[in-house]
């Protein structure tokens, strides 16, 4: 049985077609894997299905009836649920309230029937395997658990189509396993699922059929057995990618640009010592909670430390503030683009100009030289091959994840930094854009900068770095030079301490 | 060390209540008559007018909105009731209903402008603040309105030793508490304040929620106008309700309501409203220079907000997640 049919649907923004005459059907009791590069039109297609935007032409049918959502709640009422990459939960409410927010069980007097709500919430949480009181505020639970709450919400709404948009990016390995188990279970129950992901191996493994989008058009939709990863990539990029990582163009120098000596913040990091060399790409690997993000936040001046010394370009920076760090030539791309990296509802040019803004101000009157600023921003956008409309008109919000990340990088590049810290630089970014980000990283190092990358993807660090530091429980527990890279050894180092001290994930 | 940390955390976590008690005791020591039951009842009674506004304001602030028009609204509502009582001899109950209807419609106009014309709440309610007062002044030709004597009698009603405004206040607070914590609408108010986009995606009728909070705020203003008029011996002049919106906002924020939406509760607002009134009464009691009083009042409000921000940053620090044992 077909749950959703999309027929010849088209949508353009500012005259640029985001979705071109796409026809697609989703069957009940099946998982449809949907893949494509950032900007290929996946998100727009989902927004069309979800009623967030309306199509310019084309029709949809849902459970056999014409389906024309005008607002998101139309989709909810029709029986379509979204599990977004950025979760849509209300952190100030409890788990139960989040599940029932659009349709509370009521008493005769119209108030919330709290007993019924708790009972139903308990059943729903049990069916997604979340053992937790439904009265827990969402702000107190982990990202993986939040995702399960979203799924419980979808189950409550008795959705017949559930769309998972990059559901596993913020999950631990165990949570990911559990999520896939639940997805399979939903499929057994006859739900239709759309699974959008950049993790091609997972899509291949769990999807029944795979649809691939490129430049707004659907380029393939076949049973999963017809694909392998290489074919998926080839269809996504329109050519075959020979390599996942660009070759490194220049070796590191021996001159340190950033020296960290015995940096300690009680309860967070302990005796951190390392040098970052000019021209070097240095990786920091560790499990979630190993202190890797905390460390770079300390280096950048976002968190304090008690002991130790940080030397940047030969100068002791003391306890830096982010402002001083930026002035001293440091750049920090955070792991959280949406909240910490970008002003989502402001145009691209002004986002790019954010850090280097003082350089574009008139010396005397401090008036921004708008033309120079947008020229500079435009140069950066060009150098990073940003795919967008007019950078002075288009908001960052309208860009794909990969292009948003390029805006963040461009923002820092415009300030010509000498130390570049990137926390999870390719999270939620597709293969093609990843390659471009790697190329940028190589160029930064080749031009004499020091690059520090944090990543949960060991393969990525091994592909790009000259050296990898391994962190566990706030300490550096291992160091590997490129010649000695060995994934098993690195993982062992990262896990060693964790095992002897109980569960850390 | 742990005990001290807990105490610190407790004090900061309840800074407004702590300040409330400190201010209460300090004024009491300065003039012991301050502790008399009549005085305490008087403070709560005086607090109820701003309290009504603050309760309505709490709903609005929870959605990250603001309603600057409540002072003008209470003026216009009281004027409407007063004019009808004088011209066609309306009785108390129908006159009260007139005030409530005018207040509610005023709120509905705010909601309409915000939602249909998509103007931000600050500008809309700043506009209706001016228009509302202008309309009231035009209707009265800028004259003071004298209500019939029965208005004064209504204002003096005491049941079981408790003045009528306090009873009305308790009912309003109980209703607001119930709505915010126990009804779908109330929880959706919190949801919308937390993340309106997510609210839309979750299928909440966010327009209905936002319209609801401005209408409730308007209703509260209408009630405040009528009851305050009855307390002033049935005399309403041009300055009636002037600037009360700021007391209402201050009361809600003192009580822990965030201007950014999603955080706050009614009980806190009540404490905030009573605290502000207590300071005012206490200053009068201690014969503080009349011109200095507003400054002292502002200083105490500032202090409370300062503690609140101190609390936020400290709680964040105290609740920081440690990833390794602290070596001491």
Q: Residue B171 corresponds to which tokens in the numbers above?
A: 């009912």
Chain A interface test: which of B323, B326, B327 (most A C-beta within 10 Å): B323
pLDDT at residue B133 tops 90 = yes
Say whether both A99 and A178 belong to one domain: yes
| Alpha carbon separation from B115 to B118, B124, B130, B145 (Å, rounded) | 5, 10, 20, 34
Q: Which of B190, B202, B326 sits opposite A102 (nearest CB)?
A: B202
SS3 of chain B: helix, strand, coil, percent, to 5:
75, 0, 25
Say whether both A212 and A293 belong to one domain: no
Give how far B262 is from chain A: nearest CA, Å: 7
């683009």: which residue's tokens? A337
Q: Which of A112, A290, A473 sits opposite B184 (nearest CB)?
A: A112
Rounded Cα gap, residues B240 and A365, in angstroms? 46
Rounded Cα gap, residues B295 and B280, in angstroms? 11
Cβ atoms within 10 A of the Cβ of A6, count? Answer: 22
Contact criterion met (CB < 8 Å) for B326 and A89: no
- The runs of H, that is alpha helices, within A189-263 are 200-206, 229-237
Q: Which of A25-39, A370-384, B63-77 has the highest mean pLDDT?
A: B63-77
| End-to-end Cα, chain B, rounded Å | 12
Computed over every residue of chain A, the mean pLDDT equals 85
Contact criterion met (CB < 8 Å) for A76 and B202: yes
Say whether both A294 and A175 belong to one domain: no
The whole-number pLDDT of residue B105 equals 96
The whole-number pLDDT of residue A503 equals 37
The answer as to whether A494 is a domain residue is yes
- The runs of H, that is alpha helices, within A207-341 are 229-237, 292-300, 322-327
Over range A202-225, report the average pLDDT.
90
| Alpha carbon separation from A68 to A49, A52, A78 (Å, rounded) | 9, 11, 10
Rounded Cα gap, residues B103 and B101, in angstroms? 5
Residues 6+ apart with CB under 8 A from B243: B71
Give how far B260 is from chain A: nearest CA, Å: 13
User: What is the count of residue pairs from A and B with beta carbons less than 8 Å apart?
Assistant: 92
pLDDT at residue A139 tops 80 = yes
The DSSP secondary-structure symbol of A294 reads H
pLDDT at residue B2 tops 50 = yes
Say whether both A181 and A266 belong to one domain: no
For residue A60, list its beta bridge partners.
Answer: A6
The whole-number pLDDT of residue A243 equals 65
The answer as to whether A244 is a domain residue is no
The answer as to whether A132 is a domain residue is yes
Give how far A379 is from chain B: nearest CA, Å: 33
Domains held by chain A: number: 2
The whole-number pLDDT of residue A499 equals 44
The whole-number pLDDT of residue A479 equals 93
Say whether both A260 and A407 belong to one domain: yes
Chain A interface test: which of B188, B203, B320, B325 (most A C-beta within 10 Å): B203
Rounded Cα gap, residues B251 and B248, in angstroms? 5
User: Using CB atoms and an 8 Å cut-off, which of residues 261-280 of chain B contact chain A?
Assistant: 262-263
Give how far A348 is from chain B: nearest CA, Å: 21
Nearest CA in chain A to B264: A92
Q: Which of A101, A114, A289 sits opposite B323 (nearest CB)?
A: A289
CATH assignment of the domain containing A168 = 3.40.50.300
> pLDDT of A278-295, one tens digit each?
999 999 998 777 888 889
Rounded Cα gap, residues A103 and A79, in angstroms? 13
Say whether both A99 and A158 belong to one domain: yes
Rounded Cα gap, residues A235 and A210, in angstroms? 11
| Alpha carbon separation from B90 to A51, B80, B84, B100, B148 (Å, rounded) | 51, 11, 6, 14, 10
Least confident of A35-49, A258-272, B257-271: A35-49
Cβ atoms within 10 A of the Cβ of B306, count? Answer: 11
The whole-number pLDDT of residue B13 equals 67
The domain boundary, picked from A204, A237, A270, lies at: A237
Least confident of A240-254, A404-418, B68-82: A240-254
Nearest CA in chain B to A153: B202
> 3-class DSSP state for residue A212?
strand
The answer as to whether A251 is a domain residue is no
Residue that wins the pLDDT comparison between A87 and B319: A87
Say whether both A263 and A230 belong to one domain: no
Rounded Cα gap, residues A501 and A199, in angstroms? 31
The DSSP line for A460-483 is HHHHH-SEEEEEETTEEEEEEEGG
The whole-number pLDDT of residue A456 equals 78
Contact criterion met (CB < 8 Å) for B178 and A111: yes
Q: Which of A102, A106, A110 sits opposite B204 (nearest CB)?
A: A102
Rounded Cα gap, residues A207 and A346, in angstroms? 37
The whole-number pLDDT of residue A501 equals 41
Residue that wins the pLDDT comparison between A368 and A452: A452
Q: Which of B194, B203, B324 sits opposite A102 (nearest CB)?
A: B203
């101190």: which residue's tokens? B310
Contacts of A112 in chain B (CB under 8 A): 182-184, 187
Say whether both A221 and A278 belong to one domain: no
The answer as to whether A243 is a domain residue is no
Give how far B311 is from chain A: nearest CA, Å: 18
Contact criterion met (CB < 8 Å) for A474 and B200: no
pLDDT at residue B326 tops 70 = no
Range of the domain at A405: 256-500
Rounded Cα gap, residues B136 and B238, in angstroms? 8
Computed over every residue of chain B, the mean pLDDT equals 87
Cβ atoms within 10 A of the Cβ of A226, count? Answer: 11
Contacts of A88 in chain B (CB under 8 A): 195, 197-198, 201-202
Residue A502: band (very low, low, confident or very high) from pLDDT cuts 50, 70, 90 = very low
Give how far A115 is from chain B: nearest CA, Å: 12
Q: For residue A496, which of A297, A281, A285 has the smallest C-alpha distance?
A: A285
Over range A360-379, report the average pLDDT.
84
Q: Which of B201, B203, B324 sits opposite A474 (nearest CB)?
A: B324
Least confident of A134-143, A319-328, B61-70, B94-103: A134-143
pLDDT at residue A500 tops 50 = no
Q: Determine contact, residues A391/A398, Cβ cutoff 8 Å.
A: no
Q: Are strands A80-83 and A161-165 parallel, antiparallel or unpaired?
A: parallel
Residue B328: band (very low, low, confident or very high) from pLDDT cuts 50, 70, 90 = very low
Contact criterion met (CB < 8 Å) for B322 and A294: no
The domain boundary, picked from A237, A271, A293, lies at: A237
The answer as to whether A248 is a domain residue is no
Say whether both A218 and A266 belong to one domain: no
Q: Which of B262, B320, B322 sits opposite A92 (nearest CB)?
A: B262
Q: Residue A169 corresponds to which tokens in the numbers above?
A: 């990016």
Contact criterion met (CB < 8 Å) for A88 and B202: yes
> pLDDT of B80-117, one tens digit each?
999 998 889 888 899 999 999 999 999 999 999 999 99
The answer as to whether A488 is a domain residue is yes
- For residue A78, give the H/E element and its range: helix A72-78
The whole-number pLDDT of residue A498 equals 43
Q: Determine contact, residues B76/B236, Cβ cutoff 8 Å.
A: no
Q: Determine contact, residues B268/B55, Cβ cutoff 8 Å.
A: no
The domain boundary, picked from A185, A202, A237, lies at: A237
Residues 6+ apart with CB under 8 A from A487: A458, A459, A462
pLDDT at residue A158 tops 90 = no
Residue that wins the pLDDT comparison between A381 and B309: A381
Contacts of B193 in chain A (CB under 8 A): 92
The whole-number pLDDT of residue B180 equals 94
Say whether both A131 and A196 belong to one domain: yes
* pLDDT-above-90 percentage for chain B: 46
Contact criterion met (CB < 8 Å) for B200 and A73: yes
Say whether both A163 and A77 belong to one domain: yes
Chain A interface test: which of B182, B202, B265, B320 (most A C-beta within 10 Å): B202
pLDDT at residue A208 tops 90 = yes
pLDDT at residue A504 tops 60 = no
Say whether both A233 and A261 belong to one domain: no
B202-223 b/e with 16+ CB inside 10 Å = b? bbbbbeebbbbbbbbbbbbbbb
Q: Determine contact, residues A393/A347, Cβ cutoff 8 Å.
A: yes
Residue B315: band (very low, low, confident or very high) from pLDDT cuts 50, 70, 90 = low
Rg (C-alpha) for chain A, rounded Å, is: 24
The answer as to whether A90 is a domain residue is yes
Q: For residue B241, which of B119, B116, B106, B109 has the smallest C-alpha distance?
A: B106
Rg (C-alpha) for chain B, rounded Å, is: 21
pLDDT at residue A415 tops 50 = yes
């Amino acid at each position: 049985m077909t749950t959703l049919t999309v027929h010849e649907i088209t949508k353009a923004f500012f005259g640029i077609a985001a979705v071109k005459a796409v026809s697609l059907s989703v069957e009940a009791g099946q998982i449809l894997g949907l893949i494509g590069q950032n900007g290929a039109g996946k998100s727009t297609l989902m927004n069309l299905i979800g009623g967030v935007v309306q199509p310019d032409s084309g029709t949809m049918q849902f459970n056999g009836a014409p389906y024309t959502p005008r607002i998101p709640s139309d989709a909810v009422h029709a029986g379509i649920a979204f599990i977004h990459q950025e979760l849509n939960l209300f952190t100030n409410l409890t788990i139960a309230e989040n599940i029932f927010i659009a349709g509370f069980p009521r008493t005769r007097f119209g108030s919330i029937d709290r007993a019924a709500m708790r009972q139903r919430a308990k059943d729903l949480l049990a069916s997604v395997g979340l053992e937790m009181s439904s009265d827990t505020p969402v702000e107190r639970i982990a990202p993986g658990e939040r995702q399960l709450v979203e799924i419980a919400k979808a189950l409550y709404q008795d959705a017949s189509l559930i769309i998972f948009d990059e559901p596993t990016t913020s999950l631990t390995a165990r949570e990911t396993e559990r999520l896939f188990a639940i997805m399979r279970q939903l499929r057994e129950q006859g739900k239709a699922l759309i699974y959008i992901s950049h993790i091609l191996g997972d899509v291949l493994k769990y999807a029944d059929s795979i649809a691939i989008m490129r430049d707004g058009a659907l380029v393939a939709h076949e049973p999963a057995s017809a694909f392998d990863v290489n074919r998926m990539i080839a269809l996504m990029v329109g050519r075959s990618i020979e390599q996942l990582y660009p070759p490194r163009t220049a070796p590191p120098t021996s001159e340190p640009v950033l020296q960290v000596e015995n940096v300690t913040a009680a309860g967070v990091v302990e005796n951190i010592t390392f040098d970052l060399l000019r021209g070097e790409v240095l990786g920091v690997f560790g499990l979630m909670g190993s202190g890797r993000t905390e460390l770079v936040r300390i280096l950048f001046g976002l968190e304090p430390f008690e002991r130790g010394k940080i030397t940047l370009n030969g100068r002791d920076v003391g306890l830096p503030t982010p402002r001083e760090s930026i002035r001293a030539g440091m750049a920090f791309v955070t792991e959280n683009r949406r909240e910490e990296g970008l002003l989502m509802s402001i145009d691209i040019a002004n986002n790019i100009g954010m850090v280097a803004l003082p350089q574009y101000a008139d010396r005397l009157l401090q008036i921004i030289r708008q033309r120079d600023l947008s020229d500079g921003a435009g140069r950066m956008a060009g150098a990073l091959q940003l795919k967008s409309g007019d950078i002075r008109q288009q908001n960052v919000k309208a860009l794909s994840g990969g292009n948003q990340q390029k805006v963040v990088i461009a923002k820092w590049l415009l300030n010509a930094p000498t130390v570049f810290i990137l926390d999870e630089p390719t999270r939620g970014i597709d293969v093609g854009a990843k390659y471009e980000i790697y190329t940028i990283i190589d160029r930064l190092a080749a031009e004499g900068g020091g690059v520090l990358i944090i990543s949960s993807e060991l393969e990525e660090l091994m592909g790009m770095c000259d050296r990898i530091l391994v962190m566990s429980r706030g300490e550096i527990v291992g160091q590997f030079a490129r010649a000695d890279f060995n994934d098993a050894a690195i993982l062992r180092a990262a896990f060693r301490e964790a095992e002897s001290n109980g569960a850390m994930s | 060390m742990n005990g001290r940390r807990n105490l610190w955390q407790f004090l900061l976590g309840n800074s407004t209540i702590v300040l409330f008690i400190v201010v209460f005791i300090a004024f009491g020591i300065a003039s012991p008559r301050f502790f008399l039951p009549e005085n305490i009842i008087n403070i709560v009674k005086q607090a109820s007018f701003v309290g009504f506004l603050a309760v309505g304001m709490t709903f609005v602030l929870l959605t990250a909105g603001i309603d600057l028009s409540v002072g003008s609204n209470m003026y216009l509502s009281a004027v409407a009731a007063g004019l009808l009582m004088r011209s066609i001899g309306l009785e108390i109950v129908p006159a009260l209903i007139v005030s409530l209807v005018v207040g509610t419609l005023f709120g509905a106009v705010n909601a309409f402008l915000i939602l249909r014309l998509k103007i931000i709440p600050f500008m809309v309610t700043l506009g209706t603040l001016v228009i509302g007062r202008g309309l009231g002044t035009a209707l009265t030709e800028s004259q003071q309105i004298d209500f019939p004597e029965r208005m004064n009698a209504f204002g003096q009603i005491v049941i079981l030793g408790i003045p009528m405004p306090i009873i009305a206040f308790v009912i309003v607070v109980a209703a607001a508490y119930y709505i915010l914590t126990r009804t779908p609408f109330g929880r959706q108010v919190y949801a919308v304040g937390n993340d309106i986009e997510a609210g839309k995606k979750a299928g909440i009728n966010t327009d209905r929620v936002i319209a609801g909070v401005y209408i409730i705020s308007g209703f509260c203003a209408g009630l405040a106008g009528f009851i305050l008029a009855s307390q002033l011996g049935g005399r309403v002049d041009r300055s009636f309700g002037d600037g009360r919106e700021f007391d209402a906002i201050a009361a809600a924020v003192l009580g822990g309501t965030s201007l950014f939406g999603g955080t706050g509760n009614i009980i806190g607002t009540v404490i905030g409203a009573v605290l502000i009134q207590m300071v005012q009464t206490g200053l009068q009691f201690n014969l503080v220079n009349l011109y200095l009083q507003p400054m002292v009042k502002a200083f105490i409000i500032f202090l409370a907000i300062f503690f609140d921000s101190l609390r936020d940053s400290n709680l964040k620090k105290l609740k920081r997640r440690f990833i390794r044992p602290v070596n001491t």
